[in-house]
Structure 1
Amino acid sequence: MSKYEEGLNVIEERCGNGKDNIISLSTIAMEPSADGAPRPYIRDVDAYYEDGVFYTVTWAKSKKMQQIAKNQEVAFSVCGQWFSGNGIGINLGWVLDPNNAEIRSKLRKAFADWYDAVNNEKDESCIILAIKITRAIAIKDHGAVCYHMDFVHKVETAEGKII
């Protein structure tokens, strides 16, 4: 088994199997800082993980979706799981779109305890955001083992590098 595959197994154990994960999701604000530099913006969201993608239900008009529309590059960290990285944010559209039926079913199951209380599926602004991971690091044994992963090429790589 390759080190990349070992890393995938660690991630699946921690985040997979239908688990409701809390991730910190970072985007780039639409307005720059006072000195003109890009300004990061972060918030915690519930996310479902499957095959290198985090999925979350959100509102199309939210600040994060406005920011992702301008710049799809995002960063994430799974709270308490020693797993973080970068990805591409993709608006999959309305949760009730027939193309979203399979993932919607998984999201409803993962988020069953609170899904209906906070989501209005009749509103077409209730959408699914996919965060397709491009690069990540999974840390094991308090840093004794680190998996630097390039999800684009599906290989272990030098720290922070995508081939």
Structure 2
Amino acid sequence: MSRYEDGIKLIEERCGNGKDNIISLSTIAMEPNADGKPRPYIRDVDAYYEDGVFYVTTWAKSTKMQQIAQNKEVAFAVCFEWFSGNGIGENLGWVLDPKNAKLRTKLREAFSKWYDDANNETDENSIILAIRITRATVIKDHGAVRYNMDFVNKVETEEGKIK
């Protein structure tokens, strides 16, 4: 097994199997700071992980979705799991769109404790956000083992690099 595959296995153990993960999701604000530079913006969201993608139910008109519409690059950190990285945000559309049926079922199960309280499925602005991971770092044994992963090319790489 390659080190990339070892890292994937560790991620699956920590975040997969239908788990409701809390991730900090960072986007870039639409308006720059006083010096004209991009301003990061962060919030915690519940996310379901499967095959290199985090899925989040959210509202299409939320600040995060407005920011992602302007700049699809995002960053994330899985709270308390030593797993962080970058990805591309994509609006998959309304949760009740037939193309989302299978994924919606998984999300409803993973988020069953709060899903109906937080999502108004009759509103077409109730959507699924996909965060397709491009690169990530996962750490184990308090930093003794570190996997720097290029999800695009499916290889281990230098920290923060995509080959």
Compute the TM-score of the two structures, normalised by the length of structure 2.
1.00
* Partner Cα separation in structure 2 for residue 161 and residue 113 of structure 1: 38
How far is 1:118 from its partner? 1.0
1:162 aligns with 2:133: no
Which residues in structure 2 correspond to 1:80-119 (within 5 Å)?
80-119=80-119
How many residues get paired?
163
* Partner Cα separation in structure 2 for residue 58 and residue 157 of structure 1: 32
Q: Match of 2:161, SS? A: coil
RMSD value, Cα: 0.3
The superposition leaves residues 103-146 of structure 1 with CA deviations (integer Å, 9 ceiling, x where unpaired) of 10000000001100110000000000000000000000000000
Give the corresponding residue for 1:152. Answer: 152
Residue identity over aligned pairs, in percent, reads 78
Give the corresponding residue for 1:133. Answer: 133
Letter in 1 for 2:90: I
How far is 1:70 from its partner? 0.1
Unaligned runs of 5+ in 1: none
Structure 1 residue runs of 4 or more that deviate by more than 6 Å after TM superposition? none
Give the corresponding residue for 1:123. Answer: 123
1:46 aligns with 2:46: yes
* Partner Cα separation in structure 2 for residue 30 and residue 83 of structure 1: 27
Q: Match of 1:158, SS? A: coil
1:69 aligns with 2:84: no
* Partner Cα separation in structure 1 for residue 160 and residue 129 of structure 2: 24
Compute the TM-score of the two structures, normalised by the length of structure 1.
1.00
The superposition leaves residues 30-51 of structure 1 with CA deviations (integer Å, 9 ceiling, x where unpaired) of 0000000000000000000000
The superposition leaves residues 35-78 of structure 1 with CA deviations (integer Å, 9 ceiling, x where unpaired) of 00000000000000000000000000000000000000000000
Letter in 2 for 1:151: F
Letter in 2 for 1:119: N
How far is 1:159 from its partner? 1.0
